[in-house]
Structure 1
Amino acid sequence: PLVDGQGNFGNVDGDNPAASRYTEARLTRAAEALMEGLDEDAVDFRPNYDGTLKEPVVLPAAFPNLLANGASGIAVGMATNIPPHNIGELVDACLHLLKAPNARDETLLELVPGPDFPTGGIIVEPRESLAEAYRTGRGAIRLRARWSVEDLGRGQWQIVVTEIPYQVQKSKLIEKIAELIQSKKVPILADVRDESAEDIRVVLEPRSKNVDPDVLMGTLFRLSDLEIRFNMNMNVLIDGRTPKVCSLREILRAFLDHRREVLQRRARHRLAKIDHRLEVLEGYLTAFLNLDRVIEIIRNEDEPKPVLMAEFELTEVQAEAILNMRLRSLRRLEEMELRREHDALIEERAALEDLLSDEGLQWKRIATELRAVRDEFGPSAPGGARRTDFAEATEVAEVPLEAMIEREPITVVCSRMGWIRALKGHIPLDQELKFKDGDEGLFVFHAETTDRLLLLGSNGRFYTISAAQLPGGRGMGEPVRLMVDLPNEAEIVALFAHRSGRKLLVASSAGDGFIVPEDEIVAQTRAGKQVLNLRGEARACVCRPVEGDHVACVGENRKLLVFPIDELPEMTRGKGVRLQKYKDGGLSDARTFTLAEGLTWKDPAGRTRTVEDLTEWMGKRAGAGRMAPRGFPRDNRFTD
């Protein structure tokens, strides 16, 4: 960190910091290292925004702060997002570049394996992807939370998250996980608790001790910010003007070149200071050699300065310095100290001239400075150790929602007005149930919590609902339209549990229909899947499982037609073919059956009737048919 703050500066929960009047701040040693040399002409200065002050164009920077602390920002038409890194690793990479300017990118990546985020976590991005990101300056880095399994005894356990990804707010993360639990998208997770104090401790409680922790965390990694992708974009202004997406090597090289320029400017500044001081010292020494004469001139001359300059060949600076000397400086000891200082400055001046004339010496000096930075801020220093670790992503195969749900029997109840609920257990289907005033039961059937329910609307679309997401049976349930995007004007034609491999007969009120494999109508979104295409005022009115070798159709005109099921095509979507022909009205109902067993239905009294000889009603598809047998239901529907 560059700033040492005291007071409330916000936290990982996203709470706002206190007002500035309640906080204090001071620069850390790292910030001071960035500014070393500002008073030695190490960098250029320019006027600030209102021209009242001068500010440095760039800081001298004893370490590559751009990479060490990272940066992010958005400008017009460009953006940058650089992750933070470990300063010790960056220094090692710089030292290696000094030894081997043409070092391979792979070698640099061994020294700087990846970002080091202050919040820790685990990077699970493959090494090849990281290498490509640092080579091109762009890439995505997968960062996961750090977690462990905590044994509670007696076979019970819980997961404890101790580090969350960089820039993720803990409060929002917990809200998201709680939302996943509420919506039953992670049914194997029972609860989430925040037990954090100064450190992070988020507890995840599984629904059962038989849950696989890797499966649970793998699901949460996919559905929450326990895993994020940090999009790295190292877009920088290398020359202060032109933006460029740079590789790791280019940024480190630019930093080293900058440090060399800083070193040269500081050396020249020091050289100028030494020259000025040597000039003054030589004047002092001349005065000491002719001390009596100097005192005489000063006492007797009205203008001693030009006399001193003329008699002893002094410069104006030397003469002014002599005239400004205090009497106590005339002691013998002072002369000896001046000679020692003069000799030391001569030696230092020679060293600086050698430094400025020898590029190799300059790089050696820079290497020495970098080692000092590593000793002060590197792995051996407090807080300098790497916090973010690396691991291979233990990819857990995406587990279907059904596999995560504990299988339990339920009874699905849906009313005519579209209120749906699930009662625990398989209750008798004829049991009396309560509904809202003016409403009544439309569908009641047995299912399992792991089932997917298929709903056909009169608009010809099939919708898929997870049985585990159905509300409990204590109340009246919830409107099914909150779960799927069924239009208000559309009615519910059919609702049943999905059975893989089964086929369905679907038909419209216009008398068109076909056979569709049930696996083809499962929808993945709330919007459903259009299966039966409708025209004009037609609506979907039939959806029955295919069981048998013949089809029976009855129209609104009470005419019945029976034909072989082979005459119907199997399709995944479409209008279908004509089942029965009508002069007026349309199709009321249709079903499949086995001809040898006869056609059955229930009469108004609830008795099952069977007609085995159907010769009178046999025909070809799209025929008109004949009047239905006596006792056929008045509503023209085959009741099971």
Structure 2
Amino acid sequence: MATDLTGPDTPIGILDAPFDSALSERYLVYALSTITARSLPDVRDGLKPVHRRLLWAMRLLRLDPNAGYKKCARVVGDVIGKYHPHGDQSVYDAMVRLAQDFALRYPLVDGQGNFGNIDGDNAAAYRYTEARLTQVAIDLMDGLDEQAVDYRPTYNGEEQEPELFPGLFPNLLANGASGIAVGMATSIPPHNAAELLDAAIALVDDAEADVLSHVKGPDFPTGGLVVDPAAVIAESYRTGRGSFRVRARWTVEKEKGGGWQAVISEVPYGVQKGKLIEQIAALINDRKLPILADVRDESDEAVRIVLEPRSRTVDVSVMMDGLFRLTELETRFSLNLNVLDKDRTPRVMSLKEALAAWIEHQFVVLERRTRHRLDRIADRVELLDGYLIAYLNLDRVIEIIRTEDEPKAVMIAEFGLTDRQAEAILNMRLRSLRKLEEFEIRKERDTLDKERAELSALLDSPARQKTRMKRDLKRIRDRYGLDTALGARRTTIEEAAPTRDLPLEAMIEREPITVILSQRGWIRAMKGHGDLASADTLKFKEGDGPAFAFHAQTTDKLLLAAENGRFYTLAADKLPGGRGFGEPVRAMIDLDGATGVVSLLPAARSAKLLLVASDGRGFVVPAAETLAETRKGKTVMTPRPGAKLKIVRPIDPAHDYVAAIGDNRKMLVFPLNELVEMTRGQGLQLQRYHDGGLSDAMTFVFSEGISWAMGGETGRTRTEADLSPWRAARGAAGRMPPTGFPRDNRFA
């Protein structure tokens, strides 16, 4: 409990309180103020206080759609001077947003001058711009003169301001809202007003109606496409939380000669076109999307961004998927339907709950406007009754006025008038006497009586109120119908698959290269597909020579197999150029200098590989399982002590047999399906040896036999078609190879 320290040496009014409790109490007050009076919109009119005060000030300035414009400085001055004691720039920024047709689906302010653009440029200063209200704002404020809502004193108590707006326009969901408070936030996308009003009419008839049969999804002012499945959209609306995947709208324009270009006509909501083009240009400059050659901004009032591919053979869907993944041509707009309810309590509502709360407010407004009209009718009827008495006794009334010192009291006593009736008669001008006719008075009285009876019946009948509400909603719906310029849907709801992982060809410019690895481990890549036979004529360091040479593409991943059974992955586009001797491959990977290289080949050359160790044990491995993610490589084969990986050969899908030959010059042929397929290990014994080990192994088509070079300069080959004598079960010893088989015991 706080203690009042009022000793002789203590200033009066200082309270002794724990710092943490004092701080928490004050921070709580600040947090509540931020939530209820700044950041979260009211579910009934969809406005925050600053927006409501802006529109109210403009209404008092009579800035109707048919009136002239006034300087924004005048509006901002009135707002901060009378209603909103905050910074002028923050108030002007809020006003600018209300006027931007790319920010608000249904602008509430009609701006004249520079109010910014979709490129991200700021608006001009408020001394240069002018504004007035739009018809949407008028519809939103309709009923303020009929006591439809409560008023409260302004911050200084000098004037009054409405607590909220009563109009029939569904502003919260039609224009959306965003804001960050203390410990909570809100994010509501814009929707189509006609669809919202159709859903509202359905809810008036049936509180359990399916609103999603009318509201298909968000309708952003900048158009675009919402590509989420209907089930995902429905779940987001059911919970009030979720997100929508929004893509730019694009088309392909054909050119003469078979070329084409992609044209962006609508960008996702909230994306600045200028920054978007900078993103795409950065991709081109950094060569992160080489299949894209150029981007041009040909926009005027309409958005037109032209994308040129590197060549006409580029797959447009691959290019656009790359742009969707790497730029803001695809974004996610979050849904967090966090609003203040009628009790000013923040909570997350579903779409249906938000619409129902707005409809409930409209029924309250209808009742208040009806009662206000009944009060006005009662006041008018009271005056008409007094006028009728005056008309029937006109001469006597005139005489009393002329002769009596206190004519009001005399008339009240003589004719039974009320004070208000007598005052009205005394305040009549002489020229009004010619209009005072019994017939006109009784006609107006009958009309008012009939209207009063209808309004009383309306208040007493919920069914009549529903009928009246539906009629009023349909009237507003016709004004913002889907067939009108303002009401036509701009965003397409169109399910699309998620963006695919970009193929390597999209990230790297595909070019032919010739890869050469020397015996001492120096690697280089020469442009083009050169003659592999000429690799021996290339320059090498003294005592060095070619070990592996093959054709590849810059988009390839290369597999390097080491004697210890580890596989390393090299990116072909990262290899050093063909000038000089290249670079040591061991500088690119963590490979011990004492460990030899068994093979180097493109990973995409074959789906499966044959791995065999020097002791004759081996297995089949999918090539994809040998790819390594780091410099350290990946262990695929684990040779037994004393053995090492010796053979790495691609397996053609047509191959059905394995041939193995040992150092003892014995050859064995057995079916490929007898060999196990695995991703890591030692494998099975291909061939049995009494001494020595494996010399070579390969896969082939049994019906085609095995061919080998004859040697010499003739270039002739010899084929052994009938391999039946060497065919046996896996693990057998084998027999001597065919006559003429190479003395080095190598198949190729």
Q: TM-score, normalised by structure 1?
A: 0.71
2:234 corresponds to which residue?
131
Say if 1:183 and 1:469, in contact at 8 Å, map to a contact too.
no
**CA distance 1:199–1:464, change in 2 (3 Å):** farther
User: How far off its partner does 1:89 sit?
Assistant: 0.9
Say if 2:289 and 2:506, in contact at 8 Å, map to a contact too.
no
- Deviation per CA, 1:570-594: give whole Å up to 9, x if none: 9979xxxxxxxxxxxxxxxxxx994
Say if 1:521 and 1:529, in contact at 8 Å, map to a contact too.
no
Pick from 159, 181, 185 the counterpart of residue 79 of structure 1: 185
Which stretch of the first structure deviates more once superposed, 183-192 or 493-502?
Answer: 493-502
1:234 corresponds to which residue?
337
* Cα distance in 2 for residues equivalent to 1:102 and 1:165: 33
* Cα distance in 2 for residues equivalent to 1:366 and 1:174: 48
1:554 corresponds to which residue?
none
User: How far off its partner does 1:288 sit?
Assistant: 1.5
1:370 corresponds to which residue?
473
User: How far off its partner does 1:151 sit?
Assistant: 0.9
* Cα distance in 1 for residues equivalent to 2:332 and 2:318: 20
Which stretch of the first structure deviates more once superposed, 396-405 or 383-392?
Answer: 396-405
1:313 corresponds to which residue?
416
User: How far off its partner does 1:410 sit?
Assistant: 2.2
Pick from 627, 630, 635 the counterpart of residue 522 of structure 1: 627
* Cα distance in 2 for residues equivalent to 1:169 and 1:496: 48
User: How far off its partner does 1:162 sit?
Assistant: 1.0
1:63 corresponds to which residue?
169
1:452-491 residue pairs with structure 2 within 5 A?
A: 452-453=557-558, 466-468=571-573
2:297 corresponds to which residue?
194
Say if 1:184 and 1:468, in contact at 8 Å, map to a contact too.
no
* Cα distance in 2 for residues equivalent to 1:39 and 1:477: 85
**CA distance 1:456–1:282, change in 2 (3 Å):** farther
User: How far off its partner does 1:183 sit?
Assistant: 3.8
Pick from 126, 130, 135 the counterpart of residue 24 of structure 1: 130
Say if 1:517 and 1:572, in contact at 8 Å, map to a contact too.
no
1:438-457 residue pairs with structure 2 within 5 A?
A: 447-453=552-558
What SS is found at the alignment partner of 1:20? coil
- Deviation per CA, 1:468-502: give whole Å up to 9, x if none: 4679889999999xx99x99xx9x99996653656
2:148 corresponds to which residue?
42
User: How far off its partner does 1:116 sit?
Assistant: 0.9
1:153-552 residue pairs with structure 2 within 5 A?
A: 153-331=256-434, 333-394=436-497, 398=501, 400-402=503-505, 407-410=510-513, 423-426=526-529, 447-453=552-558, 466-468=571-573, 498-499=602-603, 519-520=624-625, 522-524=627-629
**CA distance 1:337–1:502, change in 2 (3 Å):** same
Say if 1:406 and 1:449, in contact at 8 Å, map to a contact too.
yes
User: How far off its partner does 1:56 sit?
Assistant: 1.7
Q: Which amino acid aligns with 1:187?
A: P
* Cα distance in 2 for residues equivalent to 1:22 and 1:473: 63
Q: Which amino acid aligns with 2:163?
A: V
* Cα distance in 1 for residues equivalent to 2:496 and 2:308: 23
* Cα distance in 1 for residues equivalent to 2:516 and 2:281: 27
User: How far off its partner does 1:387 sit?
Assistant: 0.9
Say if 1:452 and 1:467, in contact at 8 Å, map to a contact too.
yes
What SS is found at the alignment partner of 1:392? coil
* Cα distance in 2 for residues equivalent to 1:259 and 1:367: 11
- Deviation per CA, 1:420-445: give whole Å up to 9, x if none: 996522567688899xxxxxx99997
1:583-598 residue pairs with structure 2 within 5 A?
A: 594=695
What SS is found at the alignment partner of 1:387? coil
**CA distance 1:213–1:456, change in 2 (3 Å):** same
Say if 1:504 and 1:543, in contact at 8 Å, map to a contact too.
yes
2:5 corresponds to which residue?
none
User: How far off its partner does 1:93 sit?
Assistant: 1.0
User: How far off its partner does 1:404 sit?
Assistant: 7.3
Matched, 1:14 2:116: no
Q: Which amino acid aligns with 2:556?
A: D
What SS is found at the alignment partner of 1:102? coil
User: How far off its partner does 1:546 sit?
Assistant: 5.6
1:92-103 residue pairs with structure 2 within 5 A?
A: 92-103=198-209
* Cα distance in 2 for residues equivalent to 1:61 and 1:470: 69
**CA distance 1:231–1:209, change in 2 (3 Å):** same
Say if 2:647 and 2:696, in contact at 8 Å, map to a contact too.
no
Say if 1:36 and 1:60, in contact at 8 Å, map to a contact too.
yes
User: How far off its partner does 1:385 sit?
Assistant: 0.7
Query: Alignment length, in residue pairs?
Result: 537
* Cα distance in 1 for residues equivalent to 2:159 and 2:523: 72
2:16 corresponds to which residue?
none
Q: Which amino acid aligns with 1:225?
A: E
* Cα distance in 2 for residues equivalent to 1:504 and 1:378: 70
User: How far off its partner does 1:312 sit?
Assistant: 1.1
**CA distance 1:429–1:284, change in 2 (3 Å):** same
User: How far off its partner does 1:88 sit?
Assistant: 0.8
User: How far off its partner does 1:72 sit?
Assistant: 1.2
Q: Which amino acid aligns with 2:226?
A: I
**CA distance 1:258–1:546, change in 2 (3 Å):** same
**CA distance 1:442–1:310, change in 2 (3 Å):** farther
* Cα distance in 1 for residues equivalent to 2:251 and 2:217: 23
Gaps of 5+ in 1: 435-440, 507-514, 533-541, 552-569, 574-591, 597-640
**CA distance 1:396–1:475, change in 2 (3 Å):** farther
**CA distance 1:86–1:225, change in 2 (3 Å):** same
User: How far off its partner does 1:126 sit?
Assistant: 1.0
Say if 1:502 and 1:519, in contact at 8 Å, map to a contact too.
no
* Cα distance in 2 for residues equivalent to 1:8 and 1:376: 28
- Deviation per CA, 1:109-142: give whole Å up to 9, x if none: 2211111111111222111111222222222222
2:24 corresponds to which residue?
none
* Cα distance in 2 for residues equivalent to 1:223 and 1:262: 49
Gaps of 5+ in 2: 1-106, 614-619, 636-643, 650-659, 664-677, 682-692, 698-748
Q: Which amino acid aligns with 2:485?
A: P
* Cα distance in 2 for residues equivalent to 1:544 and 1:25: 82
Say if 2:109 and 2:137, in contact at 8 Å, map to a contact too.
yes
User: How far off its partner does 1:550 sit?
Assistant: 11
2:139 corresponds to which residue?
33
- Deviation per CA, 1:216-254: give whole Å up to 9, x if none: 223322332222222212122222422222222211111
2:9 corresponds to which residue?
none
Matched, 1:115 2:229: no
Say if 1:414 and 1:442, in contact at 8 Å, map to a contact too.
yes
What SS is found at the alignment partner of 1:5? strand
Which stretch of the first structure deviates more once superposed, 386-395 or 305-314?
Answer: 386-395
What SS is found at the alignment partner of 1:22? coil
* Cα distance in 2 for residues equivalent to 1:167 and 1:15: 13
What SS is found at the alignment partner of 2:167? coil
* Cα distance in 2 for residues equivalent to 1:174 and 1:549: 62
**CA distance 1:222–1:45, change in 2 (3 Å):** same
Q: TM-score, normalised by structure 2?
A: 0.62
Q: Which amino acid aligns with 2:313?
A: N
Say if 1:462 and 1:528, in contact at 8 Å, map to a contact too.
no
Q: Which amino acid aligns with 1:175?
A: E
Say if 2:535 and 2:546, in contact at 8 Å, map to a contact too.
no
Superposition CA RMSD, Å: 4.7
**CA distance 1:322–1:64, change in 2 (3 Å):** same
